[in-house]
Chain A
Amino acid sequence: MSEVSTNPEVSTKQQVKNGLRAASSMMLGYLPLGFTVGVIALRYGVHPHTALSMSALIYAGSSQLMAMELLYSGQPLFSILLTVFICNLRHLLMSASLAPHVRSFSRPQRSMFAFGLCDEAFAIHASQLPQRPLSFIEGITTNLALYGALLLGTAVAVYSGASEVLLRQMGLDYAPIAMFVVMLVMLIEDRLQLASAALCGILAVGLRQSPAATWSLVLATAIGATLATWQQLQREQRPKRRPLHSLCLDEVSRPQP
Chain B
Amino acid sequence: MTGAKIWLCILGSALLTFLLRYLPLELLAHRQLPRPAIVWLRFVPSGVVAAICMEWMCVAKDGVALSGDQKLFLAVSLPSFLVAYFSRNFLATVLCGCGLTALARFTLGASSHL
Contacts and interface: CB of A to CB of B under 8 A. Distances in A.
Interface stretch (A7-15, A113-121, A153-161, A238-246): A113-121
A58 B61 CA distance: 19
A143 to B, nearest CB: 11
Contacts of A110: 22, 25-26, 29
Interface residues of B, number: 79
Place the interface of chain A in its size category. 35 or more
A256 interface: no
A255 B51 CA distance: 51
A185 B10 CA distance: 34
Given A100-B33, A184-B53, A217-B51, A71 B102 contact: no
B110 to A, nearest CB: 12
Given A28-B90, A54-B10, A205-B55, A178 B50 contact: no
B61 A224 contact: no
Q: Looking at chain A's contact residues, is the secondary structure mostly helix, strand, loop, or mixed?
A: helix
B114 to A, nearest CB: 10
A119 B47 CA distance: 12
B20 interface: yes
A84 interface: yes
Contacts of A181: 53, 77, 80-81, 84, 93, 97
Interface of B: 1, 3, 5-14, 16-18, 20-30, 33, 35-36, 38-59, 61, 63, 65, 69, 73, 76-77, 80-81, 84-85, 88-91, 93-94, 96-103, 105-106, 113
